[in-house]
């Protein structure tokens, strides 16, 4: 059974989780965490400091040894808010590459929220109804409304604990003026969340993840009528409930108390500890304001997070029998349809192209030998190959490539969007070239695959020239040295489609080393 490793390079800490696949499920083998404060200097100066880089590299080297010990078959490394903001992010990714051999994937805030949601709903049965997910990390806060295990709406806000500490709370304890400015900033950002999340006040469950939520949930168990209770009360609370929970009123009282304390006093609060005490004020105020603003009763803490979503996605990619595979495929397709709607694409015009490219992929597997995931990449490119016309009909393939590569599409990594965008780019006179800007964004080992996929999509587009008539049906016949496409005409005939396909014969021969013949039945 395969073994996967997920590494989350956050703004406050780095986390590692290694799991193996057993009976179509993930079993955790090893976990590790190190506070490195990668985003501490980013939120002040815009660059990652050499000290933060070095601390993170030391942690990643330790993770690398654990990954080797557990003999992981696949490793995915993602970075979040600090790396999204840092001007010298490329220098750091190169250092990680030289130290560990790993490629760091910098994901967007919405992709971060999607993966966290995936990790929670995959493992938390109670989170499969209507619920709200809150993940407040070092650099950003992702708030997700979920219903039936599906994302309904999501917002990513610059309300991370480290970010707020570095921008607003530079002295200890912070003066009232700084705390007031911080509250105003939080209020402004939460107004944005109101518009994007819509009506969330009817949710039955609020799940909060990450270290700030854990600290607040445990510490709020000691807040009784404005006084900090004894440490033993929290232990009784956890034993009774079975999980950490926090009431909104307790979180509000705790946030106000923490804002008036020194770091030494905050550190002494049960559940917070030495490193968390340095950044807890901003996170506590965000939770207090968010819970109050959305009229929520409180939250339940979950230890699940980004790395669990990464592992679930890796499982789905190798085990098609898992329910999470179906969920991810559904999310991906919903994201594709959303982009089509956003840019005015008529689905009735592009759906026949999708069907034809899928048929070509299946019937010509012995010819192209593309990896199985390229079937989805091709269908996605088929659906979105016309979105560039929203900007301008002239040169619309270039616009299409830009839109796909730079749009947020749930379930597609930046590299996957780059591949799909390249497939859709070369449907005109231009051919893929390794020196093109578009192709340089794709790993060199994928260049041949992209070129082959382009040819298949060009054939599918050629099969759909006369959209005013019924769709032309096709019967592919594959022989050792040639491929015959037999066309069954619709109401308007198939002459235009046959002519368009024959124009692709030379390019087909160049890529696949076989002749392409077209006949009308």
Question: What's the pLDDT at 231?
Answer: 42
> Is 80 a residue whose pLDDT tops 90?
yes
Task: Give residue for tokens 């929203």.
Answer: 390
410 CB contacts (<8 Å, ≥6 apart)? 110, 111, 114, 151, 331, 332, 334, 335
Question: What's the pLDDT at 17?
Answer: 97
> Is 143 a residue whose pLDDT tops 70?
yes
Question: What's the pLDDT at 235?
Answer: 40
Tell me if 3-106 shares its fold with 321-520.
no
Higher pLDDT, residue 505 or 148:
505
In order, the DSSP letters of 357-393 are HHHHHHHTHHHH---TTHHHHHHHHHHHTTGGGGT-S
Report the C-alpha gap between 432 and 109 in whole angstroms: 31
Token pair for residue 23? Answer: 């009976």
Q: What percent of the chain has pLDDT over 70?
A: 93
Question: What's the pLDDT at 241?
Answer: 39
Q: Which residues pair with 490 in a beta bridge?
A: 493
Q: Tell me which of 1.10.3210.10, 1.10.1740.10, 1.20.1560.10, 1.10.3720.10 is the CATH number of domain 321-520.
A: 1.10.3210.10
The residue length of the chain stands at 521
Give just the sign of the alpha carbon dihedral 366, 371, 376, 379. negative
Report the C-alpha gap between 104 and 106 in whole angstroms: 6
Sheet hosting strand 473-478, strand order edge to edge: 473-478, 482-488, 515-520
Question: What's the pLDDT at 201?
Answer: 62
> Is 226 a residue whose pLDDT tops 60?
no
SS3 assignment for 261-290: CCHHHHHHCCCCCHHHHCCHHHHHHHHHHH
pTM above 0.95, yes or no: no
* Angle at 154 (CA atoms; ends 153, 157), nearest 5 degrees: 150
> For residue 198, what pLDDT band results from cuts at 50, 70 and 90?
low
Higher pLDDT, residue 232 or 50:
50
* pLDDT tens, position by position, 102-134: 999 999 888 899 999 999 988 876 777 888 999
Question: What's the pLDDT at 470?
Answer: 63
Report the C-alpha gap between 163 and 160 in whole angstroms: 5
Task: Give residue for tokens 């996929």.
Answer: 453
Question: What's the pLDDT at 238?
Answer: 40
Distance of CA 270 to the CA centre of its chain: 34
Domain ranges in the chain? 3-106, 125-303, 321-520
Q: Is 363 exposed, middle or buried (0-12, 13-18, 19+ CB in 10 A)?
A: middle
Report the C-alpha gap between 32 and 208 in whole angstroms: 20
* Angle at 496 (CA atoms; ends 495, 501), nearest 5 degrees: 100
Arithmetic mean of pLDDT over the chain: 89
Q: Which residues pair with 300 in a beta bridge?
A: 207, 245
In this structure, whether the domain defined by 3-106 belongs to CATH 1.10.8.290 is answered with: no
* pLDDT tens, position by position, 37-48: 999 899 989 999
What mean pLDDT is predicted for residues 4-9?
A: 97
Question: What's the pLDDT at 412?
Answer: 86
CB-facing half-sphere around the CA of 169: CA atoms within 13 A: 30
What mean pLDDT is predicted for residues 171-185?
A: 93
Peptide bond into 173 cis (omega under 30): yes
> For residue 306, what pLDDT band results from cuts at 50, 70 and 90?
very high
304 CB contacts (<8 Å, ≥6 apart)? 116, 119, 120, 123, 124, 209
The DSSP 8-state label assigned to residue 222 in this structure reads: T
Sheet hosting strand 74-79, strand order edge to edge: 25-35, 13-22, 3-9, 74-79, 104-106
Distance of CA 291 to the CA centre of its chain: 25
> For residue 93, what pLDDT band results from cuts at 50, 70 and 90?
very high
Q: Tell me which of 3.30.420.150, 3.40.640.10, 1.10.760.10, 3.40.50.1220 is the CATH number of domain 125-303.
A: 3.30.420.150
What mean pLDDT is predicted for residues 175-181?
A: 94
Question: What's the pLDDT at 222?
Answer: 67
Report the C-alpha gap between 368 and 350 in whole angstroms: 23
Is residue 457 within 8 Å of 381, Cβ to Cβ? yes
Report the C-alpha gap between 289 and 251 in whole angstroms: 9
């Amino acid at each position: 059974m395969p073994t996967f490793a997920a590494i989350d390079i956050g703004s406050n800490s780095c986390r590692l989780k290694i799991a193996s696949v057993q009976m179509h499920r993930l079993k955790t083998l090893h976990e590790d965490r190190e506070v490195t404060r990668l985003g501490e200097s980013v939120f002040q100066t815009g660059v990652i400091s050499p000290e933060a880089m070095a601390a993170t590299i030391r942690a990643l080297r330790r993770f690398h040894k654990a990954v080797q010990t557990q003999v992981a078959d696949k490793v995915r490394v993602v970075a979040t808010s600090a790396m999204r903001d840092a001007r010298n992010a490329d220098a750091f990714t190169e250092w990680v590459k030289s130290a560990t051999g790993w490629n760091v994937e910098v994901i967007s805030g919405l992709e971060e929220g999607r993966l966290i949601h995936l990790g929670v709903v995959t493992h938390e049965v109670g989170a499969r109804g209507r619920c709200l997910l809150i993940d407040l990390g070092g650099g950003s806060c992702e708030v997700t409304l979920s219903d039936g295990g599906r994302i309904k709406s999501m917002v990513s806000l610059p309300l991370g604990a480290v970010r707020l500490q570095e921008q607003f709370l530079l002295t200890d304890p912070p003066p009232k003026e700084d705390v007031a400015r911080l509250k105003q900033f939080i209020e402004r950002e939460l107004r944005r969340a109101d518009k994007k999340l819509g009506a969330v006040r009817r949710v039955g469950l609020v799940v909060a993840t990450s270290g700030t939520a854990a600290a607040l949930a445990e510490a709020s168990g000691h807040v009784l009528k404005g006084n900090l209770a004894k440490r033993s009360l929290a232990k009784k609370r956890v034993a009774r409930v079975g999980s950490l929970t926090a009431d909104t009123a307790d979180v509000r009282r705790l946030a106000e108390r923490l804002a008036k304390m020194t770091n030494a006093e905050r550190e002494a609060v049960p559940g917070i500890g030495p490193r968390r005490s340095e950044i807890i004020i901003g996170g506590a105020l965000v939770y207090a304001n968010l819970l109050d603003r959305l009229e929520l009763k409180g939250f339940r803490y979950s230890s699940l997070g980004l790395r669990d979503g990464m592992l679930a996605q890796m499982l789905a990619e190798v085990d098609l029998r898992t329910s999470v595979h179906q969920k991810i495929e559904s999310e991906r397709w919903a994201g594709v349809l959303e982009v089509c709607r956003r840019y005015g694409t008529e689905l009735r015009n592009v759906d026949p192209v999708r069907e034809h490219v899928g048929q070509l992929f299946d019937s010509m597997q012995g010819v192209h030998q593309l990896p199985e995931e390229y079937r989805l990449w091709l269908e996605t490119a088929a659906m979105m190959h016309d979105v560039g016309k929203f900007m301008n009909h002239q040169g619309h393939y270039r616009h299409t490539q830009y839109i796909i590569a730079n749009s947020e599409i749930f379930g597609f990594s930046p590299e996957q969007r780059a591949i799909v965008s390249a497939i859709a780019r070369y449907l005109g006179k231009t051919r893929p070239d390794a020196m093109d800007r578009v192709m340089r964004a794709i790993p060199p080992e994928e260049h041949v695959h992209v070129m082959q996929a382009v040819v298949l999509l060009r054939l599918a587009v050629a099969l759909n020239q006369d959209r005013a008539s019924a769709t032309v049906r096709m019967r592919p016949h594959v022989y050792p040295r040639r491929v015959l496409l037999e066309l069954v005409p619709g109401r308007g005939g198939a002459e235009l489609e046959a002519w368009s396909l024959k124009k692709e014969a030379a390019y087909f021969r160049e890529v696949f080393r076989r002749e392409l013949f077209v006949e009308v039945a």
